[in-house]
Amino acid sequence: MKADGKRGRIAVLEEWRGKQVGNAIMAELFAAAREQRLPECYLDSQVSALGFYKKLGFIEEGEEFMDAGIPHLRMRLKLGNA
């Protein structure tokens, strides 16, 4: 986890998808970011995964770009640090 709030690649094995594993991973990442008192998290999502991150509250930002031959879009989520 980077100190600037960027989250790297997140992957869930196909047989575990749809079982809230991705949500659990992201919840732990959010908790760690809040412990660090980060104001936000951001990531570069594969376009095919935008819906997953939108459900978590991430907002699309900027233009679509290619990474490793796959279309991506930057997404950002403001964190509450109460």
What is the average pLDDT across 1-27? 86
Instruction: Give the domain ranges of the chain.
Output: 14-78
Topology of the domain comprising 14-78 = Aminopeptidase (3.40.630)
Q: Tell me how far apart the alpha carbons of residues 79 and 38 are, in angstroms, rounded to a whole number.
A: 7
pLDDT at 7 over 90: no
Tell me the pTM.
0.84
Question: Residue 57 above 80 pLDDT?
Answer: yes
The contacts found for 10-19 with CB under 8 angstroms, 24 or more apart, are 10/43
